[in-house]
């Protein structure tokens, strides 16, 4: 586990470096230390708009205090250099350099399954969602979803009602609840699970955030179940990313018959058209969920 100074160094590098996040993450991972990388990523003194130079050491202290302020609000931080960074997510190239979360992380989440679908789900779709989420919970499997209306909310609620663990991967910072109607659900999830974000705590909803959120949700899961989705649904992004990540995708028959992308995806390897919830467990058992040892940075 890195200390707050190392974590602050990574956040400072992300804020101040002219490199993109992926490049900053690469430099930090290669050195194994955000502090060691800081000299590479920052000039000795950063001029402000008022032409006043700011010592990076002072900047680092300010970020340390900011992380402590987050913690006082119940917002925790984990970086790619921390041992408790999600193991499955570490194996995908879209892994974000840091995550913030409310609640707690659990190593068992590495075997979690994402259940996603339409915001405007039908009553049958919501029923199937609850059935799948409850069955996964009863078998000790963490259920991940995106805290959106419709299928996502139904999945989270079913897990909570069944006394299980669910993780919400959100497309905003943790000081924002989107949609606001899910504020109570947001609070309930963090008591026994986690609400996870790759964005700064003050970040609001933005269109480009949600595909990024889908990449993290897929990366954290061993498989993704798509219950309902339209032709242009954002859910198709997660299904595509899951296959790119080498994760299994389960499609409900309605998704296959109702969309061209579902038809195309159903014919691809690593995809199952799900005829019953029990089939989901059988395929998961066949796949196995052992996670290979990773190189320690």
Report the predicted TM-score, pTM, of the whole model to 2 decimal places.
0.89
pLDDT score of 60 = 86
Residues 241 and 31: their CA atoms lie apart, in Å, by 29
Residues 154 and 23: their CA atoms lie apart, in Å, by 37
Strands 223-226 and 194-197, bridge-based pairing: unpaired
pLDDT score of 297 = 34
Q: How many percent of the chain have pLDDT more than 90?
A: 72
Residues 21 and 183: their CA atoms lie apart, in Å, by 30
pLDDT score of 106 = 97
**C-alpha Rg value of the chain to the nearest Å:** 20
pLDDT tens per residue across span 35-65: 888 777 775 555 554 545 557 678 889 999 9
pLDDT tens per residue across span 186-227: 999 999 999 999 999 999 999 999 999 999 999 999 999 999
Q: Where does the chain have alpha helices with state H?
A: 4-16, 21-31, 34-41, 56-72, 87-90, 123-138, 151-161, 183-192, 209-220, 235-244, 253-258, 260-266, 277-287
290 has pLDDT over 60: no
pLDDT tens per residue across span 75-123: 999 999 899 999 999 999 999 999 999 999 999 999 999 999 999 999 9
- Cβ-proximal residues to 55 (8 Å cutoff; 6+ apart), any chain: 45
- Which of 38-47, 135-144, 262-271 is predicted least confidently? 38-47
pLDDT score of 276 = 87
Q: How many percent of the chain have pLDDT more than 70?
A: 92
pLDDT score of 43 = 58
Delineate the domains of the chain, giving CATH numbers in brackets. Answer: 4-72 (no CATH), 107-287 (3.40.50.450)
pLDDT score of 30 = 83
């Amino acid at each position: 586990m890195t200390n707050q100074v190392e974590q602050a160094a990574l956040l400072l590098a992300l804020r101040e470096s002219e490199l993109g996040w992926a490049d900053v993450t690469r430099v930090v991972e290669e050195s194994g230390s955000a502090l060691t990388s800081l000299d590479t990523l920052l000039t000795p003194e950063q001029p402000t708009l008022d032409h006043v130079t700011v010592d990076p050491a002072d900047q680092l202290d300010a970020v340390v205090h900011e992380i402590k302020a987050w913690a006082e609000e119940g917002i925790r931080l984990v970086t790619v250099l921390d041992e408790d960074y999600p193991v499955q997510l570490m194996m995908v190239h879209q892994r974000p350099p840091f995550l913030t979360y409310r609640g707690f992380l659990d190593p068992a989440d590495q075997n979690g399954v994402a259940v996603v679908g339409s915001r405007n789900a039908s009553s049958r779709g919501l029923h199937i969602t609850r059935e799948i989420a409850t069955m996964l919970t009863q078998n000790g499997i963490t259920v991940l979803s995106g805290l959106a209306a419709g299928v996502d909310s139904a999945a989270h609620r079913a897990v909570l009602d069944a006394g299980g663990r669910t993780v919400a991967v959100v497309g905003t910072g943790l000081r924002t609840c989107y949609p606001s109607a899910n504020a109570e659900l947001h609070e309930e999830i963090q008591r026994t699970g986690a609400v996870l974000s790759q964005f700064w705590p003050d970040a609001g909803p933005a269109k480009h955030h949600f595909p990024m959120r889908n990449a993290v949700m897929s990366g954290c899961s061993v498989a993704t179940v798509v219950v309902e989705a339209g032709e242009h649904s954002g859910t198709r992004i997660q299904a595509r990313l899951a296959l790119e990540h080498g994760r299994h995708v389960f499609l409900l028959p309605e998704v296959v018959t109702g969309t061209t992308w579902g038809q195309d995806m159903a014919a691809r390897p690593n995809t199952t058209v799900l005829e019953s919830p029990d089939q989901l467990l059988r395929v998961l058992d066949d796949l196995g969920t052992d996670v290979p040892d990773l190189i320690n940075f």
